[in-house]
Amino acid sequence: MLSAARGKWPTVVQLPSGKALTVRAAADVFLDSLGNPNTVRNYGIGVGKTAERLGEARPPASVAADEIGEARELLWGTAAVNTWNARRAAVLSWLGWCRERGYLLDEHTTVRGPGTGWDLHEYRHSAVTHLGEQGASPLMLMAKSRHKKPENLRRYFKPSDEPIAEVTSLLAPGDARR
């Protein structure tokens, strides 16, 4: 596939076969795919420590988006801005690399064939929506999703018909048509 953004062919990297892919294996293959030794060294810190924190033996598909954010916060939450940004960039690059190669999440959430599964954004959206439907307060939803403003949270929370009918019934008990 031709990369429109760069106008060149992407690098093809063989993922380990014969055993289940782990977070550590995905991190190692990603780091091995980088050409510049300085980038490997710098990214190795962010990606390596994040993989350790997430659990190196876990399958990548079992890692939730909020776990990645929590790991970054625990590892570099008090670091200097430049350090935080460098580690964040490394981890985001790794996640993007994984996504380009199938983002393993799609493989495990697909319903109608390849390319129909969820990405991390959709997974996060779904989690926040389900929490909202179960009655979590807006402040708790903001804390969980790390949104700073309630208006930014609105786009993630789309309650189904059942919770809306339940709220409507509060206006006229026994009459859900309102």
pLDDT given at position 150 = 82
Dump pLDDT digits (tens) for 25-62. 889 988 988 888 888 999 999 999 999 999 988 887 77
Question: CA-to-CA distance for 174 and 127, rounded, in angstroms?
Answer: 31
At 153, give phi and psi (nearest 5°): -75, -25
When mean pLDDT is compared over 11-20, 47-56, 135-144, the highest value belongs to 47-56
Question: CA-to-CA distance for 15 and 26, rounded, in angstroms?
Answer: 8
pLDDT given at position 119 = 60
Query: What's the predicted TM-score (pTM) here?
Result: 0.49
Is 135 a residue whose pLDDT tops 50? yes
Dump pLDDT digits (tens) for 75-99. 988 988 888 889 998 998 898 888 7
Cβ neighbors of 90 (< 8 A, separation 6 or more) are 42, 43, 45, 46, 47
C-alpha to C-alpha distances, 115 to 9, 118, 123, 127, nearest whole angstrom: 20, 8, 15, 20
Q: How confident is the model at residue 166 (pLDDT cuts 50, 70, 90)?
A: confident
Roughly how many angstroms between the first and final C-alpha of the chain, as a whole number?
52
Q: How confident is the model at residue 66 (pLDDT cuts 50, 70, 90)?
A: confident
Mean of per-residue pLDDT scores for the chain: 75
Is residue 51 within 8 Å of residue 78, measured between CB atoms? no
Cβ neighbors of 155 (< 8 A, separation 6 or more) are none
C-alpha to C-alpha distances, 94 to 117, 127, 162, 168, nearest whole angstrom: 19, 23, 39, 45
Residue 150 CA from chain centroid, whole number: 21
Q: How confident is the model at residue 122 (pLDDT cuts 50, 70, 90)?
A: low
Mean pLDDT of the 115-132 span? 68
When mean pLDDT is compared over 42-46, 111-115, 157-161, the highest value belongs to 42-46
Rg (CA), the chain: 20
Residue in the structure block whose two tokens are 């980088």: 34
Mean pLDDT of the 13-27 span? 64
Percent of the chain with pLDDT over 90: 11
What phi-psi label fits residue 113: left (phi over 0), alpha (psi between -120 and 50 degrees) or beta?
A: left
